[in-house]
Amino acid sequence: MKKFIVLFLAILLPASVAFGAPEKPLKIGAILNYTGPAAMLGPLFKNGIVKALEENDNKIAGRPIELIVEDAAGDPSVCLEKARKLVERDKVKIIIGPLMGDAHLAIAPYMANKNVLITTLYCGDIQLGNYRNWLTYPTTLVGLTVPLGWYAHDSGYKTMVMITSDYAGGHGFMKGVRMGFEQKGGKVVQEVFVPVGTADFGPYHSTLKDADCVAFFVPNTAESARLITQYREFGVKMPLLGTTLAADLPEAVMKDLGDNVIGVRGQAAYIWSRDNPVNNNWVKAMEKRFGMTPGGLANNSYCITSAILAALKATGGDESFDKLWPALVRVQLDTPQGPLSFTPEGFAITDGYIVEAKVIDGKYMWDPIKVYPQVLDPRLAK
């Protein structure tokens, strides 16, 4: 009889764990933009996160995943408020986002204090590495754009004019271009700083010095489009090289820009038309799931989420920071953008692209013309 009871309990107890007490959900927070100047970007980032979660059946190590999305409204103070809500009320230990560099700096001390894993969505400043809880994807601001400086010199350009949006992110991006260009022996002959939100670039275009090329960074779609349109209208003939192009000017917008955009070359973190099996399969799956071709933003959030999920698998679903962080910086994945790994400080190492605006088969698109493999910010490489 005793044997029977022991046998009965041995069968019943695990079953009660499985059926009677469901696994506690693993909460992942995301701070995206649904209102404000970058309102159009929130849904695109969310698509990448959702896809990565769906590939894992929204579960990790048997625990269901609950995604909690908050709107940062493009405002650092709102972002801090939302981060506090996620950490203190929702008790999340992992947050994907925010996007803007000023928001990173606003929430970084709080996040470090709370031991929460946090990520950038589109680059981050090198100083985030000091906190050792930031996953910076696809690399630093400088690391992202340094290939454009190399490419400009490789194309035979010896002198360059730079148009730089006058804020921390703009300075960071263009520092990378300058660093790459000067590393190879090029010379920047003029740097024009333009305020964020510049409506009229005409006065700037009329004062550009003669050089072999003009490199620029201005944030968001509207400003990039205005800069390119007005550059053409004012008949400036120097070759135009842009940063963060595929993200700022997606193909739907390129069509509106028409001939003005054709021939513009520049740097892109990810481009959907890169021909490799991992990327081709992912693009098809994204098109089927969301009805649109994915861009750099969906790729970024997809790769970030995939890396986090891979680390969670390694910890057996334990999201406590002390377990998760070491597992995360050891993750190696083959992603749509290329092979992905991380430095001990949490900076991603992956491929960088140079693209050119073309019309191919009647479609406006960014054509990848050169790949710089496994790019790392030169300051981290030292």
Residue numbers of the site for other proteins (CB under 8 A)? 35-37, 39-41, 166, 192-195, 197-200, 202-204, 206-207, 220-222, 225-226, 229-230, 233-235, 250, 252-253, 256-257
Rounded to whole angstroms, how far apart are CA atoms 234 and 203?
A: 10
Q: Report residue 15: phi and psi, to 5°.
A: -65, -35
Nearer to other proteins, 253 or 371 (CB): 253
CA gap 243, 145 in Å, rounded: 7
CB of 235 to other proteins, least distance (A): 3
In angstroms, give the least distance from the CB of 264 to other proteins.
Answer: 14
- To the nearest whole angstrom, how small is the minimum distance from the Cβ of residue 344 to other proteins? 37
CB nearer other proteins, residue 133 or residue 260: 260
Let me know if 344 is exposed, middle or buried by CB neighbors in 10 A (0-12, 13-18, 19+): exposed
Q: Which is nearer to other proteins, 37 or 180 (CB)?
A: 37
Rounded Cα–Cα distance for residues 27 and 140 (Å):
27
- What is the SS3 assignment for 372? strand
Residue number with CB closer to other proteins (19 or 206): 206
Nearer to other proteins, 133 or 300 (CB): 300
Q: Shortest gap between Cβ of 259 and other proteins (angstroms)? A: 10
Smallest distance from the beta carbon of 360 to other proteins, in angstroms? 20
Three-state SS at 36: coil
SS3 378: helix
Residues 51, 260: Cα–Cα separation, whole Å? 34
Complex with other proteins: residue 122 or 342, whichever CB lies closer? 122
Instruction: Provide, rounded to whole angstroms, the least separation between the CB of residue 202 and other proteins.
Output: 4
CA pair distance 20, 165, nearest whole angstrom? 57
